[in-house]
Copies of this chain bind each other. A is one copy, B any other.
C-alpha cells in the first residue's frame, strides 16, 4: 500500500528561507501567512494524509457511477469533502467579504500540492471551484457575487468551467454553444460541452457552470465568445437552490486515470444563465484566471511526483535484490537494498531534483502572483506579474511533464510490482498523464511562451527573469563555495540567451521556425530556471550541512548540475534548426 507524508519541512524551508516573504512583511496577509503556516499546514497535512489519501486507491478501483443524469462519487468522498469544507480549505485564499480567509496563494500552493499528492481525483472539484470563484470575483456583477460567492467560498456549492466542445478543444474560436437573450435580462443556453470535470457529482447542493457561449450575431472566432453562469439549481427568492436548470449530464468518460473524477458530457437545452462580464469578452475573462489555473495544473504534476517519489524511496530502502557492486552493504541479509545500486540512486535523485525544484518554482511563482495582487506599489506589482506571466507556461508544461516522468520512474524502481494495480504506483502514471493535456496542452504552453510571453511589451517579461538571475549571480560572485554552481549557471543562462535570440529573430521572419523549436525552447528554459533554483537552494544550505536536510539540498543541487542540466546543450543545438527540417 502506498504511503504519503506531507513535506512540511520543505514547505517551511521555502516559506522562511527561499521566498523573500520577510522582505515584504508589510503586504497584506504575508505576515499572517508566515505566522500561521505551521499550524495551518499541519492541519492540512493531517486532512490529506488521513482523510484524502486513504481514499485514493479505493476511489480509483471503485470509480464513479452514472445513472439517469446523476453521478455518484466513490465511497467516502462525500464525508471527505465535508471535512475539507469544515476545515475552511475551500475559502483559504478567498476574500473575507464572502467568508474567505484571504490568505496568500503561496501558502495555498502547499495545501493544493498536498491535496494533489493525496488524492488528485478528489482535489479537482475544489480546485475547479476555486477557478470559478476567481472568474466570478473578477468579472461578475455585485448582485451575482452576493448571490453565489458565499456558498462557493464555504464549499456548499461547487463551480466548474465549461469550455470544450467536440470540435473546439485547443481552438475555442470554434465554439458553437448559443446564448439567447431573454426579456428578463437572463439568457438561455443551448449546446453541448465535453470533458467537463466535476460537471455533475453528489458532493454539493449546487454546481455553478461557467459556460463559454456565443450571443446572436457574435463575431466569428474567439472575439465572439461570452461567459455565462448557469447554476444546476436556480435559486429561489431566499437564495436557496430550487428548480433544476435545463441542463443535464449525458454521460461520463471512462479514462486512463483520474477514475474518481467525473469527466462529463453536458447538454444545455435552454438552460437559464446569467452573463458574466461584458458580451463577447468571455475569452479575456477566462484568461484572467488562466494563469492561476495553469499553475494549479503544474501543481498536479508536482503533487503526483512527490507521492510517487516518497513511495519509490521507501521501497528502494526496503527491497533486497543483489549485492552492491563494491561489496555487501547488508551482509546479514540475503541481498542489499536496491537503494545501494547506483542506477536506482540516479532515479531517486532525478525524482528528488524535479520534485523539490518544482515545489520551489511553483511557490516562487505563486509568491509573485500574490505580490502582483497585493503590493501597494504599481511598479512592484507589474514586475511581479511579469515574472508570473513568463513562468506560467513553464510551470504548467515542465511540472506536468515531470509528473509523468517521475511517476514512471517510481514504477521502474518498483519493477514488476510497479505494474500491478494493488501496489498503487501505476495509478500515479495514469493519473498524472492528463495534466500534460488539459488547460492547454504542453505544446500550446510552448507556443504561449514563444509567441506571447517573449514578445509582449518588447520582451519585458523575459527581463524579469534575466534580471533576477543576474542579480543572484552578482551576489554570489565572491562566494568561493558557490562557484561550482554559479559558473555553470552563468554558462547555461548564456545558452538560453542564445536560444532566445534565435527564437526571436527566426520567429519574426517565419513563425514556423519559432514554433518548430518551441517545445525544446521551453524545456531549455525550464532547465535553466531549475538550475537557478537549485543554486539558490544550495546557497541557503551551505554552512548548515550538519542538518541532514541542508546536506541533502547540496547533494541534490550537485546532482542536478552534473546529471540533468547538461541536457540543455543538445537542446540549444536542436532549437536553432529551422522548420524546414519538418517539411
- Spell out A's residues near B (CB within 8 Å): 164, 167-171, 173-174, 194-195, 253-257, 263, 320-322, 325-326, 334-335, 341-347, 349, 404, 408, 411-412, 415-416, 418-422, 426, 429-430, 433-434, 436-438, 441-443, 446-447, 510-512, 515-516, 518-520, 555, 558-559, 562-564, 566-571, 573-574, 577, 579, 581-583
Interface of chain A, main secondary structure: helix
> How far apart sit A434 and B347, CA to CA, in the bound complex (Å)?
17
User: Is the beta-carbon distance between B411 and A433 smaller than 8 angstroms?
Assistant: yes
What are 20 sample pairs from A and B whose C-beta atoms fall under 8 A apart?
Answer: A168-B321, A169-B321, A169-B416, A195-B416, A255-B426, A256-B411, A256-B421, A263-B420, A326-B511, A341-B515, A342-B512, A343-B443, A412-B436, A415-B437, A416-B437, A416-B438, A419-B433, A429-B433, A566-B569, A570-B571
> How far apart sit A167 and B416, CA to CA, in the bound complex (Å)?
12
Chain B residues, CB < 8 A from A345: 516, 582
| Cβ of A541 to closest chain B Cβ, rounded Å | 16
Chain B residues, CB < 8 A from A263: 420
User: Is the beta-carbon distance between B579 and A342 smaller than 8 angstroms?
Assistant: yes
Given known A256-B430, A569-B569, contact A518–B343 (CB-CB < 8 A): yes
Q: Which of B326, B419, B438 contacts A437 (CB 8 A)?
A: B419
Chain B residues, CB < 8 A from A510: 326
Q: Which of B342, B415, B430 contacts A582 (CB 8 A)?
A: B342
Given known A321-B171, A511-B326, A574-B566, contact A342–B418 (CB-CB < 8 A): no
Which of chain B's residues has its CB closest to A527's CB?
B570
Chain B residues, CB < 8 A from A512: 325-326, 342
Q: Which of B335, B441, B567 contacts A570 (CB 8 A)?
A: B567
Which of chain B's residues has its CB closest to A348's CB?
B582
How many chain copies does the complex carry? 2
Given known A567-B567, A573-B566, A574-B563, contact A256–B171 (CB-CB < 8 A): no
User: Is the beta-carbon distance between B437 and A342 smaller than 8 angstroms?
Assistant: no
| Cβ of A434 to closest chain B Cβ, rounded Å | 5
> How far apart sit A433 and B512, CA to CA, in the bound complex (Å)?
34
User: Is the beta-carbon distance between A346 and B566 smaller than 8 angstroms?
Assistant: no
User: Is the beta-carbon distance between A320 and B167 smaller than 8 angstroms?
Assistant: yes
User: Is the beta-carbon distance between B515 and A343 smaller than 8 angstroms?
Assistant: yes
Chain B residues, CB < 8 A from A519: 343, 346
User: Is the beta-carbon distance between A421 and B255 smaller than 8 angstroms?
Assistant: yes
Q: Which of B254, B325, B436, B555 contacts A583 (CB 8 A)?
A: B555
Chain B residues, CB < 8 A from A164: 416
Chain B residues, CB < 8 A from A433: 408, 411, 419, 426, 429
User: Is the beta-carbon distance between A443 and B325 smaller than 8 angstroms?
Assistant: no
Q: Most B CB atoms within 10 A — which of A343, A418, A422, A429?
A: A343
User: Is the beta-carbon distance between A171 and B335 smaller than 8 angstroms?
Assistant: yes
Q: Which of B335, B422, B441, B520 contacts A415 (CB 8 A)?
A: B441
Nearest first, the 3 closest Cβ-Cβ pairs linking A and B are A256-B426, A566-B570, A342-B516
Q: Which of B430, B437, B515 contacts A412 (CB 8 A)?
A: B437
Chain B residues, CB < 8 A from A558: 581
Q: A170-B322, A263-B420 given. 10 additional CB < 8 A pairs?
A: A169-B416, A254-B420, A326-B510, A342-B516, A343-B446, A412-B437, A416-B438, A566-B573, A568-B570, A569-B570
Chain B residues, CB < 8 A from A426: 255-256, 433
User: Is the beta-carbon distance between A420 and B255 smaller than 8 angstroms?
Assistant: yes
User: Is the beta-carbon distance between A256 and B335 smaller than 8 angstroms?
Assistant: no
Chain B residues, CB < 8 A from A577: 562-563
> How far apart sit A169 and B412, CA to CA, in the bound complex (Å)?
13
Which of chain B's residues has its CB closest to A561's CB?
B581
